[in-house]
Amino acid sequence: MLTIHPLLQAAEEQITASGLALEYAGFLAYFGVFGALGFHWFVLLRTGPRQSVGTVPDAAVTASLESAEVGAARIGVVGALFMLVNLFMGISANAAGKGISFTDALAAGGNRIVIPFIFAALFLVSFAVAMKRVRAAWTIAALAGVAFALRSITSGKWTSLVNPLHEVAASLWIGTLFVLVIAGLPAVLRSGISTEQRGSLVTEMIGNFSPVAIGASLLLVITGVTTAWRHLKFVAALWTTPYGYALDIKLLLVAMVVALGAWNWRRMRPRLGSEAAAHEIRSSATKELFFAALVLVVTGVLVSLPAPHLPHP
C-alpha cells in the first residue's frame, strides 16, 4: 500500500494515500451538497428579478437563471455520489482492517452507518429531481441538509455538533463559491442576454454571496478555534508536535483564502457592473478556490494525525 510519510518522524501513525483519499472524498461530498444548497437558497433565489431586466426579454433572463439552477443541482448530485462512495470506502477499509466481511462491518456500524446512507440517498434523489426543475426537491434537500448537520444533537453533548457545523460552515462558504464559479457565473456569462445585463446579474450574484461568505466564515472561525483547542490541549503543541505543524500550515493556507476573499469583497466587488469585471472576479475567485483545495489536503492530513498528548511532568 502506498504510504505518505508523516510531517515529522515523531508522528505516531503513518498516513496512507487511501486514508487521505477517504477524507478528501468526505470533504468534497459536503462541499457539493451544501454548496449547491447555499447557492440555490442564498444566492440564486435572490438574484433577479425574474421578470424583464431592462430591455431583456423575460425568457432570456429566466433561462440563464434556470441554467444556473440546473448546474447547481448537478453539483449536488456529484456531492451526494461522493458521500455514498465515501461511506462505501469507509466500510470497506474498516472491514479490511478487522478482517471481516463488508456486510458484517455494515451491521457492526449500526445507525452510525445506516443514517448517513439514508441521507446520502435522499440528497442524491432530491438533487436528481431538482435537475428536472422541480422546485419542491430543493426544499426536501434543504430539510435533509439541516437534519444531517444536526444529527449528532441526539447525543446530548454540544461538543458533538462542533465538527459537523465546522464542515457545514466551510461548505457554505467555499462550496457555495465553487458552485457560483462553476455553475452560476458561466450560466449568465454564456447566456443570450446583453453584455450590460450579464454584468448586472453577476453583480447581484456576488452581492448575494457576500453575506453567506461572511456568516459562514465567522461560524468557521468559532468552530475551528473550539476544535483546535480541544485537540491541542496545550499551546506549545503548535510548534512541538506533528499535529501542531499540520495545523500551522492549514492556518497559513486559510489566511491566504481569507485574504483573497477580502480582496474580492473590498476591491473587486465595487468594480462589478460590466461583463469584463465579471470575468475578472471569476478569475480571482478561482484562485481563492485553489488555495481552499490545498486547505482540504492539509485538513485530510491533520485529521489523520493523532492529537497531541499532554507532556508528562
d(CA 80, CA 160): 23
**In-domain check, residue 9:** no
Q: Is residue 181 part of a domain?
A: yes
Mind listing the pLDDT tens digit for each residue in 176-203? Answer: 999 999 999 999 998 888 888 888 899 9
- Domain-embedded: residue 249: yes
Backbone angles phi and psi of 123, in degrees to 5: -60, -45
- pLDDT for residue 89: 87
Any domain includes 291: yes
Instruction: Provide the Cα torsion 278, 283, 288, 291; round to 10°.
Output: 170
Confidence (pLDDT) at 132: 95
**Domain for residue 268, yes or no?**
yes
pLDDT the model gives residue 4:
39
Buried b (16+ CB within 10 A) or exposed e, 166-190: bbbbbbbbbbbbbbbbbbbbbbbbe
Per-residue pLDDT of the chain (313 residues; tens, 9 = 90+): 333 343 433 444 566 777 788 888 889 999 999 999 999 999 999 987 544 444 444 588 889 999 999 999 999 999 999 999 999 988 888 888 888 888 888 888 878 888 999 999 999 999 999 999 999 999 999 999 999 999 888 776 777 788 899 999 999 999 999 999 999 999 999 888 888 888 889 999 999 999 999 999 999 999 988 888 888 877 788 888 888 899 999 999 999 998 988 888 887 777 777 778 888 888 889 999 999 999 999 998 888 888 777 666 5
Cell numbers describing residue 147: 437534519
Q: Is residue 101 in some structural domain? A: yes
The grid coordinates listed for 203 are 453583480
Give the up-direction half-sphere exposure of residue 265: CA atoms within 13 A in the CB hemisphere: 15
Residue 295 covered by a domain: yes
Query: What is the predicted pLDDT for the residue at 266?
Result: 80
Three-point CA angle 67, 170, 115, nearest 5°? 85
User: Cα–Cα distances in Å, from 177 out to 28, 34, 165?
Assistant: 13, 11, 18
The structural domain count of the chain equals 1
Domain membership flag for residue 207: yes
What is the number of other CB atoms lying within 10 angstroms of the CB of residue 311? 10
Q: Which domain holds residue 163?
A: 14-304
* pLDDT digits 0-9 by tens, 151-170: 888 776 777 788 899 999 99
